[in-house]
Chain A
Amino acid sequence: MQLTLREFLTAMHGMLFGGFFLMAIFGLVVELVRSSHTAEPATLTPRGRSLEAWFLIVMAALGWLAVFTGTYIVYPWYRAKPPAGTLDLTAYPRSLLLAHPNTAGWHSLGMEWKEHIAFFAPIVITMLAYVLIRQRIALRQDPKLRRSVLAFALLALVACGIAATFGAMINKAAPVAGGPTITLMRSSQ
């Protein structure tokens, strides 16, 4: 069981940070919908408040880790320019996608949109984490604020979902690979 360093770090970016971030936002949306339909708002214990705060902080941190590893670690490998005369473009995903009309859209629409819209999600989630942790009283008192928090969480979910979907599809069409090989497990056969 082997994978290259670039594959490993791309998986960390997309599957660990991005994937868990997306799942956490979905969990937040479910919780906000549930709490907006309860007759008596639940009162958390201090331990419950602490756990909820940690969930929100870790969720925001996952979002920032996803966008920063994507921008500063994976993206340079993706957009690297091949030397003149290179015929095998498999090590240059952007050039590989743009070389064929059937795949060019994955870059010109998919990557061009994903790399920007992805940043919307951690910005909005950081704001929501602040509101949900520090402004709990205002949130309990104001149904309008609860509805707008839910709307922002849905927007973050859509932004993250678009980025994640394009990321997965682009990496399927033109995988980021190369670098030293990492052996995770050796077969006994």
Chain B
Amino acid sequence: MTPEQTPAPNGPVAAAILSAAIACFALGVTTAASDLSKPINKFMNFYPPSGALTGETTIAIVVWLAVWIVLARLWRNSSRSLRTINIASFVLLALGLLLTFPPFIDLF
């Protein structure tokens, strides 16, 4: 059996996919929280000329990289159900999209 034919554990792929979806969801959460709460908006203001956008995106990126590193280590030599990972990822992505959509946040 050549290396190309050896079934490779899909854990690292699952970690990459799920962590990217979690990052998009985290961006949705930070955006919504910052929109709905003045103290959180103030906290997110990492770089005043650009406002809360800098904190919202920085936190999402940090969450993404941290989750990716942790999951990649945990799932390094194992395989996960890609179907479950994909469903979870697309639900998280859809929620992230919804939470960044201004007319939805304006409902609250």
Binding site for B on A (CB under 8 A): 67, 71-72, 75-76, 79-80, 108-109, 112-113, 115-117, 119-120, 123-124, 126-127, 130-131, 134-135, 137-142, 144-145, 148, 151-152, 155
Contact = CB atoms under 8 A, between A and B. Distances in A.
Contacts, number: 95
B24 A120 contact: yes
A108 B4 CA distance: 51
Contacts of B12: 134-135
18 contacts: A72-B54, A80-B49, A113-B102, A116-B100, A117-B97, A117-B100, A119-B57, A120-B96, A123-B61, A124-B20, A131-B16, A131-B17, A134-B12, A135-B16, A145-B10, A151-B86, A151-B90, A152-B20
A137 B102 contact: no
Interface of B: 3-4, 6-8, 10, 12-13, 16-17, 19-20, 23-24, 27-28, 31, 47, 49-51, 53-54, 56-57, 60-61, 64, 82-83, 86, 89-90, 93, 96-97, 100-103
A123 B8 contact: no
A157 B103 CA distance: 22
Given A71-B53, A127-B19, A135-B8, A142 B96 contact: no
Between B3, B8, B51, the greatest number of chain A beta carbons within 10 A of the residue's beta carbon is seen for B8
A116 B59 CA distance: 13
Contacts of A155: 93
Q: Label chain B's interface by main secondary structure.
A: helix
Contacts of A140: 4
Contact of A123 (B20, B54, B82): B20
B92 to A, nearest CB: 11
A165 to B, nearest CB: 15
A155 B4 CA distance: 29
B27 A119 contact: yes
B5 to A, nearest CB: 8
A137 B82 contact: no
Given A119-B27, A142-B82, A145-B10, A72 B102 contact: no
B17 A152 contact: yes
B16 A127 contact: yes
